[in-house]
Amino acid sequence: MIRAHNIAVSFDLGGGQEHSVLRDLSLEVERGQTVSIIGPTGQGRALC
């Protein structure tokens, strides 16, 4: 099992701006389960 608690991911847009991609994410993944992160184009999925 994989457990993750309170994950936060963001990236710097420059000029003092930051874009939050994930905020306070917690999950448990059992052996054999598959997890996907989905969302609109340009929202930072590739950074996760």
Residue 17, judged by CB atoms within 10 A of its CB (0-12, 13-18, 19+), counts as: exposed
Q: pLDDT tens for residues 3-38?
A: 999 999 888 889 999 888 889 999 999 999 998 878
CA neighbours closer than 13 Å in the CB half-sphere of residue 10: 11
Amino acid 10: pLDDT: 86
Q: Which tokens belong to 46? A: 């590739």
Amino acid 47: pLDDT: 60
Using the predicted structure, report yes or no on whether residue 44 has a pLDDT greater than 70: no
Amino acid 27: pLDDT: 93
